[in-house]
Amino acid sequence: MGKPYTRLDKTNAAVLLVDHQTGLLSLVRDIEPDKFKNNVLALADLAEYFELPTILTTSFEDGPNGPLVPELKEKFPQAPYIARPGQINAWDNEDFVKAVKDTGRKQLIIAGVVTEVCVAFPALSAIEAGFEVFVVTDASGTFDKITRHSAWNRMAEGGAQLMTWFGIACELHRDWRNDIEGLASLFSNHIPDYRNLINSYNAQTGNK
Amino acid sequence: MGKPYTRLDKTNAAVLLVDHQTGLLSLVRDIEPDKFKNNVLALADLAEYFELPTILTTSFEDGPNGPLVPELKEKFPQAPYIARPGQINAWDNEDFVKAVKDTGRKQLIIAGVVTEVCVAFPALSAIEAGFEVFVVTDASGTFDKITRHSAWNRMAEGGAQLMTWFGIACELHRDWRNDIEGLASLFSNHIPDYRNLINSYNAQTGNK
Amino acid sequence: MGKPYTRLDKTNAAVLLVDHQTGLLSLVRDIEPDKFKNNVLALADLAEYFELPTILTTSFEDGPNGPLVPELKEKFPQAPYIARPGQINAWDNEDFVKAVKDTGRKQLIIAGVVTEVCVAFPALSAIEAGFEVFVVTDASGTFDKITRHSAWNRMAEGGAQLMTWFGIACELHRDWRNDIEGLASLFSNHIPDYRNLINSYNAQTGNK
Amino acid sequence: MGKPYTRLDKTNAAVLLVDHQTGLLSLVRDIEPDKFKNNVLALADLAEYFELPTILTTSFEDGPNGPLVPELKEKFPQAPYIARPGQINAWDNEDFVKAVKDTGRKQLIIAGVVTEVCVAFPALSAIEAGFEVFVVTDASGTFDKITRHSAWNRMAEGGAQLMTWFGIACELHRDWRNDIEGLASLFSNHIPDYRNLINSYNAQTGNK
Amino acid sequence: MGKPYTRLDKTNAAVLLVDHQTGLLSLVRDIEPDKFKNNVLALADLAEYFELPTILTTSFEDGPNGPLVPELKEKFPQAPYIARPGQINAWDNEDFVKAVKDTGRKQLIIAGVVTEVCVAFPALSAIEAGFEVFVVTDASGTFDKITRHSAWNRMAEGGAQLMTWFGIACELHRDWRNDIEGLASLFSNHIPDYRNLINSYNAQTGNK
Amino acid sequence: MGKPYTRLDKTNAAVLLVDHQTGLLSLVRDIEPDKFKNNVLALADLAEYFELPTILTTSFEDGPNGPLVPELKEKFPQAPYIARPGQINAWDNEDFVKAVKDTGRKQLIIAGVVTEVCVAFPALSAIEAGFEVFVVTDASGTFDKITRHSAWNRMAEGGAQLMTWFGIACELHRDWRNDIEGLASLFSNHIPDYRNLINSYNAQTGNK
Amino acid sequence: MGKPYTRLDKTNAAVLLVDHQTGLLSLVRDIEPDKFKNNVLALADLAEYFELPTILTTSFEDGPNGPLVPELKEKFPQAPYIARPGQINAWDNEDFVKAVKDTGRKQLIIAGVVTEVCVAFPALSAIEAGFEVFVVTDASGTFDKITRHSAWNRMAEGGAQLMTWFGIACELHRDWRNDIEGLASLFSNHIPDYRNLINSYNAQTGNK
Amino acid sequence: MGKPYTRLDKTNAAVLLVDHQTGLLSLVRDIEPDKFKNNVLALADLAEYFELPTILTTSFEDGPNGPLVPELKEKFPQAPYIARPGQINAWDNEDFVKAVKDTGRKQLIIAGVVTEVCVAFPALSAIEAGFEVFVVTDASGTFDKITRHSAWNRMAEGGAQLMTWFGIACELHRDWRNDIEGLASLFSNHIPDYRNLINSYNAQTGNK
């Protein structure tokens, strides 16, 4: 009775980072700032780790919304970067859509600020355009829980899959044997509890 | 697999404000009062800003339910105003339905007090009558979270889309270039964090 | 795209109160006890007010589960009362199903303790048997929120509608003019905020 | 309009316990540790009580993830035990799938750590392979509520049923008369409130 | 090092109910309304049960603040009733202070709406005037937790003791043997969990 | 045993607004932004209403901290305004202390951002200098509840009184008869529930 | 400026377990039941481990309050057991006070149900009688957080020290070298996270 | 009436980091892990920035408690490092006390895991020994809020001051002009909202 299982495939996925701008981030209040920063950087690190085509876009970055978070800009110096002149839904910007299509990927991993607009609008448009959409809920932030859960409902009803960065990394990686150290390092850098496990393990087994 | 993306269109949308009465508001306990007041007024302001046909209705306003919140009455002096003689579901009132149909709009943005009755009943009836319904979850209030989430579930299963006022404003506006100042002003008046961004920006760039 | 609007009809609805027993009530921890007691009694009062056929059932009332809450027993002295000898799903008890069918009603309003068992099992069975099911979420209680939301999801996916007692009363009543005083009295007895509105109103207008 | 009621049947169900390892458990922060431990052990006890075929699997148990929780290993000494060499989705491991198929059961009760990976991946794969899947939400843990509810949504949309250990026990047992003492004992060992009811009852009736 | 234990004594205590008015109650949002109503009525019942001199006072009851909650007026028809003409701190009203002094009691049990004003002001004034003050925290309500905890801190630093109605009843009663049935009845009427215990007990022991 | 009751006196009180700057406000996450904005403006309004000497101060307003919130600047055009060149504790700034002493007032009502620094430091210094200090907890904001409650504890232990704007207004006003309309208007502008009471009252009594 | 550090000493401490009865436990709603049960049993285990004189007492155990939790009765078969005939404050019972004095200990570790009565009353009386009192906050339960925090405040102001079972165990033990295995075992049995650490450690270092 | 204001002085303060070990950190559940990690590292950075003498100590680091968090070890390679052989209260270890006294400082800033033991015990002992103690509440973690608030109460009653790392940094720095860039950099590295302010500011003013 349910939807078929659409599984993320690292050869078919791309990452869209929408409007993680220094001003807009002050609007995010449904996730604590330390945690949200970590989630966004974890998503960026996994995009880099799995060599997923990544597209950056901003809205009015010369105004109060502020510039893209510098860490993202630095991590993806070669990525298509679309500073939208006004379109609120990134999918209404032809350059953005072209950049997405140029990746040749059919699975879109989307995160952004704020969830119900910068994520939900392009997510729903992308589904309409035939893409499979995976929303990174914990790297997307908004005003409060009412807004978050309204947006999640609208996106899920529209066919988007709700995931978090950790699940996405695991589904892309498939098998630890593909690269144990790389994945462990990604986790260790972004999950303090996991880092502690590794440090205890190393100390107790004489590793490292 | 999901529902098709039904996008709000400012030439095809109308706003229904149902039973925001001074007495009934004391029943609203799933949103803090400062925040709820702001959300309702923000919705009213966006209705005015986008020149959406707006319909006001109340239930027993001469009794304990109290009169319509005066700010709403003042903002829409020309709007159809249906003081229902007894129907709990506004859609059971012929004048109300006629007023809705007279707008010629097919997309209904509905908010009210309390969510599971004054919003859910006309929302489900309107869908049955062939309208597209967008519930403004953060401008609709009720007794507690159990009631809220039961009502959201019933409405979403019935085909309503759950949105918040900010997402609605963004989806209606489409492109900042349609009117930067107007939209920024709407946001600045109702989102303190956004107002701060603008004030910092102006101070730092010598604007204003 | 959504489900059709199935509207409660007081000539076609019956109420099933499942296992509100004095022992089992100590398991309910997802709702505060003062509030839960009030919700259950409000549901009982509305069943009586709308003269809905009501069926009582208990599970092992001679053991630790304890007897039916006395207030319910007293309110419905003539109601079918099925003390199940062992069946956990009330629908597995033939007397219970017979009592339901004997009402001739097709809309079943179900509440009970605990939600994921005493409510969910007969709710899903009743849908399978062709009934329309309305779960009274705020008159049904269970261990915690994980359990509540799992049960809500299972029931909603299975076709049950999630409502609360207030919404049910409003949907059954349809129009205040059918009996203003009766409905106001029901609300005043179970919603302290509403009672306050009425008392203020009466004092200020010289009523009563 | 809803999904048909798929009811658990003790002659057709198997239990899959995925990655309840001593290291990974430190990642679980959406449920309090005392409660989570109790839920996992309750699930194990019910698997044993209903003599359900049970399959254990771990991921990298020689590394920081740590060994399987000893209590589980001890309770199911004869159970298939698949220490996966690297596959993150247990269903990608042929031995695991073979063990599942060898049970001859079509209903899979799945719990694990962490929910969005170790539970969701095999749950969705099993549905794809034609099984009926029941997720034990309260014996599955993860980082936080954002992750939990994203995972629940993905699994429910994919066709899994969300349940908790208590509901599963009740649906499997069907009728108290099948074994009153056994079921009461299971509840008494894992639900302090229920144990209290029984102890009060026994003291007050002169039992035991 | 601590303060000496000042123990409530039923021959030396009086109850002050300050501004529990139907309008002002809509301001109370730090306690759920069902629970708050129950706590206030429980306090009234214990005042009556222990025959404590009780004083009622209101602030501007002819205006929007509304009349005293009718249940309180009815329960204490003979009690001094001071409708203050304007003093916000009830202790600034000479009639009120005289009524307090006329009781001859030195221990004042105070509850009211809102906590930081109607309770805190007379509490601090009464201490200054040489009384021992016991604040009934759960029968006093206010806007939110910030206000509640600020007010509690100010009152406790000023020498008031923070208690709840149940503790007050127990400290006044001293020994169950003074009247088992009376106290049990008070508890049963206001603590659903306690009522359930009694009902289970009666059913299981053949009591009635 | 407690501290003596130090009562606010409108002829002896002054208000200090410390660092309510547009940038710093984005750090405030222990109160929702709509509510915090309202509380700060309510405090400003009461300062004006009671004609309390008011002192404004900022920290590095030309840098990222941003300018003083414009509404405060506009409301107190004649107030001493100390843009501190670097002192973190406003009390370390001689101009600020001089401005305070010039008021001739001995009771200081302090609010600011962030609580544990901009409020706590001058509060503790002012007490040391012999002033009576009243902290406006709900017009002071900071990072989270851990910080809030640590700061409250340090200030209370140091002798500051914790109050909220509403309590301060009431303690300053003493008696409604001093000006009913003025105080009601202050409340109506900043307490939606109170405004609703007034609007209902006026409608029901024919007032306007 | 603070109180002197009164340090627990295992040769001078006794444990008082007050009214942990099977009926009364259903009143405890400020701590989850799995956690509360664990905390009470951990306290019992530490009392046994440190060979602290332990005193059990109950209130009306033949009535609805129910018998003492059997696990406690079994663990301390030789302990003084005072079934109080009616005194609510255990300290009003001469046998109880005699049992306490007979221990010759001056430091009393008290836990019970409910906190504001069964713990607070004897705690304050014991301080008055010259004892040092340590309240075990996490092995004492009550109706809700309002009650808990009122009771904590009253007891702390009265001179009691607020601790939890883990801190008490650590302060009594002083030095791991007194018995590493014994203390580790106590922790492992009652702190799932600690048990996991030990199990991981043993697996990784070849211990066990 | 309050305690005198004891102000932190960077020439008189030392930092004690107690038992931040990789295993023990899995016990910390009153603060989210991302946030806690950040707070601990912020405290370490401020210790380094203000060149405060810093002392590290661990408990049983070769066992399940695990090694000191590597980041702390690396940041303070020259710091006294006391691996305690068994004393639970670090102050019971002579080397630790000697290291503290050797700093010549009288103000001790203490953080650790878990709060009620590793922080509270040495904090209370140090006060007894004549030191001024400042507890860093947000860099100290423990099992849950009951434990946290019990420990805070015990420490505050004993004379410790409760602060957070940000307040400590501000009180030590006194005046931005001592080093604007250094302090801003400390804040930017550990407060995402502050970093955003700086990045927006730089972008908008052309800084870099």
Q: Which residue of F has its CA nearest to C202?
A: F204
Q: Does F162 touch chain B (CB under 8 A)?
A: no
Q: Quick count: other Cβ atoms within 10 Å of Cβ C102?
A: 12
Task: Tell me what the mean pLDDT of segment G111-134 comes to.
Answer: 98
Please count the other Cβ atoms lying within 10 Å of the Cβ belonging to residue D145. Answer: 12
Strand positions, DSSP E, chain E: 13-18, 54-59, 81-84, 107-112, 132-136, 161-163
* Nearest-angstrom CA–CA distance, F121 and H23: 37
Identify which of E64, E147, E149 has the shortest CB distance to residue F198. Answer: E64
pLDDT at F208: 58
Q: What tens digit of pLDDT does each residue of A44-91 get? A: 999 999 999 999 999 999 999 999 999 999 999 999 999 999 999 999
pLDDT at position B155 is 98
User: Could you report the per-residue pLDDT of A116-142, keeping only the tens digit for each?
Assistant: 999 999 999 999 999 999 999 999 999
Query: Is F199's CB within 8 Å of B37's CB?
Result: no
Contacts of H138 (CB under 8 A, 6+ apart): F144, F146, F147, F150, H31, H35, H36, H39, H164, H165
Q: Give residue-wise pLDDT tens across range C128-153.
A: 999 999 999 999 999 999 999 999 99
Q: What is the pLDDT of residues C115-131, one digit of tens each?
A: 999 999 999 999 999 99
Stretches in chain D below the pLDDT threshold 70? 1, 208
| Closest partner CB to B127 (pick from C5, C164, C194) | C5
Output the 3-class SS for F109-173: EEEEECHHHHHHHHHHHHHHCCCEEEEEHHHCECCCHHHHHHHHHHHHHCCCEEECHHHHHHHHH
Shortest Cα distance from G1 to chain H (angstroms)?
6
Vertex H14 angle, CA H8 and H16, to 5°: 120
CA angle A35, H170, B193 (to 5 degrees): 50
Q: Give per-residue pLDDT as tens, F92-120.
A: 999 999 999 999 999 999 999 999 999 99
Look at residue C170 in the predicted model and tell me its pLDDT: 98
pLDDT of residue G206: 85
Q: What is the pLDDT of residue C208?
A: 55
pLDDT class for C1, splitting at 50, 70, 90? low
What is the edge-to-edge ordering of all strands in the sheet holding C81-84?
A: C81-84, C54-59, C13-18, C107-112, C132-136, C161-163
Across the beta sheet with F107-112, the strand order is F81-84, F54-59, F13-18, F107-112, F132-136, F161-163
Residues G79, H131: Cα–Cα separation, whole Å: 42
Please determine, for residue G173, whether its predicted confidence score (pLDDT) is greater than 80: yes
pTM score of the predicted model: 0.97
- Given a contact cutoff of 8 angstroms between Cβ atoms, the answer to whether C175 and E45 are in contact is no
Q: pLDDT at position B206, please?
A: 85
Question: Is A143 strand, coil or helix?
Answer: coil
Contact indicator for A132, A108 with CB cutoff of 8 Å: yes
A129: its two tokens: 């355009």
Identify the closest residue of chain D to H27 by CA–CA distance.
Answer: D26
Give chain E positions within 8 Å (CB) of G156: 2
C-alpha G106/C-alpha G13 separation (Å) is 6
Give the amino acid at B119: V
pLDDT band of residue C206 (cuts 50, 70, 90) is: confident
Collect all residues with Cβ–Cβ distance below 8 Å to D106 and sequence separation of at least 6.
D12, D130, D131, D132
**Whole-number Å distance between alpha carbons of C128 and D2:** 10
Containing B15, the helix (H) or strand (E) segment is: strand B13-18
pLDDT digits (tens, 9 = 90+) for A141-173: 999 999 999 999 999 999 999 999 999 999 999
List residues of D with catalytic annotation.
118
CA nearest to B65, candidates B113, B29, B126 = B113
Question: Residue A7: helix, strand or coil by DSSP?
Answer: coil
Contacting residues of G for C24, CB less than 8 Å apart: none
Least confident segment among B125-139, C193-207, E81-95, F122-136 = C193-207
pLDDT at B152 over 70: yes
A vs B contact (3+ beta-carbon pairs below 8 A)? yes
Residues of E in contact with C29 (CB under 8 A): none
Q: What is the pLDDT of residue B1?
A: 65
Question: In this structure, what token pair is assigned to residue G6?
Answer: 């009164």
A24 three-class SS: helix
Residue G64 contacts by C-beta under 8 Å, 6 or more apart in sequence?
D200, E184, E194, E197, E198, E200, E201, G23
In percent, the amount of chain F with pLDDT more than 70 equals 99
Average pLDDT over chain E reads 97
Mean pLDDT confidence for C164-171: 98
Please indicate whether, in this complex, the C-beta atoms of F29 and A26 are within 8 angstroms of each other. Answer: no
CB-based contacts of C187, cutoff 8 Å, min separation 6: C166, C169, C194, C195
- pLDDT score for E206: 85
pLDDT score at D208 = 56
| CA-angle at F9, arms to F4 and F10, nearest 5° | 165
The model's pLDDT over G15-55, given as tens digits with 9 standing for 90+, comes to 999 999 999 999 999 999 999 999 999 999 999 999 999 99
Q: Looking at the predicted structure, is the pLDDT value of residue C94 above 90?
A: yes
Number of Cβ atoms within 10 Å of the Cβ of F207? 12
Q: Decide if D29 touches H, using CB distance below 8 A.
A: yes
Query: Neighbours of C (≥3 Cβ pairs closer than 8 A)?
Result: B, D, E, F, G
Cβ of residue A196 closer than 8 Å to a chain B Cβ: no
Residue E160 confidence (pLDDT) = 98
Q: Which of D26, D32, D144 sits opposite H26 (nearest CB)?
A: D26
DSSP per-residue codes, C49-91: HTT--EEEEEE-TTSTT-PBPHHHHHH-TTS-EEEESSBSSGG
Q: Is the dihedral of CA G115, G120, G123, G127 positive or negative?
A: positive
Instruction: Say yes or no: B129 contacts chain C, CB-CB below 8 A.
Output: no
Q: What is the pLDDT, as a whole number, of residue F1?
A: 65
Token representation of residue D34: 């005392």
Q: Are B13 and F173 in contact (CB under 8 A)?
A: no
DSSP chain H: ---------TTTEEEEEE--BTTGGGG--SS-HHHHHHHHHHHHHHHHHTT--EEEEEE-TTSTT-PBPHHHHHH-TTS-EEEESSBSSGGG-HHHHHHHHHTT-SEEEEEEBSIIIIIHHHHHHHHHTT-EEEEEGGG-B-S-HHHHHHHHHHHHHTTPEEE-HHHHHHHHH-BGGG-HHHHHHHHHHH-HHHHHHHHHHHHHHT--
Cα A48 to Cα A42: distance, rounded to the nearest angstrom: 10
pLDDT surpassing 70 at residue A208:
no
Instruction: Write down the pLDDT at residue A82.
Output: 98
Mean pLDDT value of segment B8-12: 98
| Sign of the dihedral defined by the CA atoms of residues A102, A104, A110, A111, in that order | negative
Catalytic residue among B79, B109, B113, B118: B118
C chain contacts of residue E193, beta-carbon cutoff 8 Å: 25-26, 33
- pLDDT (mean) for F125-148: 98
Contact B115, B145 (CB under 8 A): no
The model's pLDDT over F22-65, given as tens digits with 9 standing for 90+, comes to 999 999 999 999 999 999 999 999 999 999 999 999 999 999 99
Which pLDDT score, from 0 to 100, does residue H2 have?
85
d(CA C22, CA C185): 27
For C46-62, what is the mean pLDDT?
A: 97
Burial F15-31 (b: 16+ CB within 10 A, else e): bbbbbbbbbbbbbbbbb
- Prior bond of G114 cis (ω within 30°): yes
Name the pLDDT band for C2 (thresholds 50, 70, 90): confident
Domains and CATH numbers, chain H: 13-174 (3.40.50.850), 177-208 (no CATH)
pLDDT digits (tens, 9 = 90+) for H30-65: 999 999 999 999 999 999 999 999 999 999 999 999
The DSSP 8-state label assigned to residue G16 in this structure reads E
**C82, C99 Cβ separation under 8 angstroms:** yes
Identify the three-state secondary structure at position A14: strand
Q: What is the pLDDT of residue E208?
A: 58
Could you say which of G152, G167, G191 has the minimum Cβ distance to residue H120? G167
Model pLDDT for residues B14-60, shown as the tens digit of each residue:
999 999 999 999 999 999 999 999 999 999 999 999 999 999 999 99
Which tokens belong to F152?
Answer: 């409250």
**Ranges of chain H whose pLDDT falls below 50:** none
